[in-house]
Amino acid sequence: MKNTIIIFTLILFVSIYPQNKNNNVDSILWQKAEQICKNNLLIDTHIDLPDWLYDEWFDVSKETDKGEIDYQRAIRGGLDVAFMSIYTSPGLEAKGKSKIKADSMIAIVHKIVKLWPDKFYFIRSTSDIISNINKNKILLTMGMENGSPIEHSLDNLREFYDKGVRYITLAHYKWNHISDSANDPEKKWNGLSPFGEEVVKEMNRLGMMVDISHVSDSTFYDVIKLSKAPVIASHSCCRFFTPGYERNMNDDMIKILAENGGVIQLAFANFFLKNDTYQAYTTGEENIKKYLRENRIDSNSELAWKYEEQYWKDNPLPPATVKDVADHIDHIKNLVGIDYVGLGSDFNGTGGMLAVGLEDVSKYPNLVYELLLRDYTENEIAKVLGGNLLRVWKEVEQTAARLKNEK
């Protein structure tokens, strides 16, 4: 079975990867796809580079075989704005170490810009994007994945904003002091905590986007009722294709998100995209947890990580492809319109479990090519690549300005 899946994946790679010179590709359409990526704003709202550099520093200004992003590949793919993920494990909250870890990774992002100012530029606003686009630089900003580093303090939240964090994913795979999690069967708050409500209000006041990826359904509905600004899902997909997977958004949530004026940024993780891949992933996760439990191995230990890495090498998931990502875009377009979908790849955050054809930041043109095959216009594609997220970010900034004036 393992060899069958690997062979099938290789066949898919050859058949849907336009850059492959042996593939039967419409060369004119492919050139158009590349030009669309180069000529239009391309924003990816979720890339887990800081956590990699926290573990092992390497030169991201040069092409590398480490992970799924570096400057050279980003330029080839047409990437303009990359939200660097400031991720902290939920386990750090109980230890009181979440903020320490977050501060370290924020410093890493600023170090990238300081070391290679000719290749990277740090942005804090939508006006910064407009002023610095098309200068052959990758514009970096930050999103915080897991609100644990706030550590019960709105002063900490304000500090993160001042340091350049422009969205916060309220929770991760476990509930925290802000909200419940989609991945955690225990629902501590049945949505937002009382403090979480204050966090959302302050994020509105600051001009920081509220991210509902990873949170429970009840948290999503609480946020929508409370927020005075549009909200985002920084890296989620459509539950329509993965029934029962709360990490993805159901159709009702997507409709309400659109009414709110927000946007769902699609992740490229293969188990987010197809039901058979999701089911195999769920089974694998259960098997891994059982092994760690029976052998009394700490799930956060290096030994556990190595076991999990080897498990997935031995048990590869049924593949999803760039076509599946396009299917999710189709679904959202048909459900609510093209104005409410964007891209949040989760590069460097999936353990390499990515859609075939979208293996790293150089591959965005593959998705554009697929959308062109489906008769999407350049204007529609431009909205998906970055226009929709830019609109939401601007509206969040405008809401903050209005709230400050009301005071």
pLDDT classification of 106: cutoffs 50, 70, 90: very high
**pLDDT tens profile 347-361:** 999 999 999 999 999
**pLDDT tens profile 117-170:** 999 999 999 999 999 998 899 999 999 999 999 999 999 999 999 999 999 999
pLDDT classification of 5: cutoffs 50, 70, 90: very low
Of 282, 390, 388, whose CA–CA distance to 329 is shortest? 388
**In the prediction, which pLDDT does 11 show?**
52
By the 8 A CB rule, do 178 and 193 touch?
Answer: yes
pLDDT at 9 over 60: no
Which residues are paired to 369 by β-bridges?
Answer: none
pTM, rounded to two decimals? 0.94
Identity of the amino acid at 235: H
**In the prediction, which pLDDT does 3 show?**
42
**pLDDT tens profile 197-235:** 999 999 999 999 999 999 999 999 999 999 999 999 999
Per-residue burial over 315-326, b = 16 or more CB atoms within 10 Å of its CB, e = otherwise: bbbbbbbbbbbb
Q: DSSP letters of 20-45?
A: -TTS---HHHHHHHHHHHHHS--EEE
- Residue 343 dihedral angles phi and psi, to the nearest 5°: -125, 130
Q: Which helix (H) or strand (E) holds 90?
A: none
Quote the CATH superfamily of domain 26-272+319-406.
Metal-dependent hydrolases (3.20.20.140)
- Round to whole Å and give the CA distance between 176 and 91: 10
- Round to whole Å and give the CA distance between 311 and 313: 5
Domain boundaries, the chain: 26-272+319-406, 275-317
Range name among 150-159, 292-301, 381-390, 396-405 with the lowest pLDDT average = 292-301
**In whole numbers, what is the pLDDT of the chain averaged over residues?**
95
By the 8 A CB rule, do 68 and 118 touch?
Answer: no
**pLDDT tens profile 239-272:** 999 999 999 999 999 999 999 999 999 999 999 9
pLDDT at 86 over 90: yes
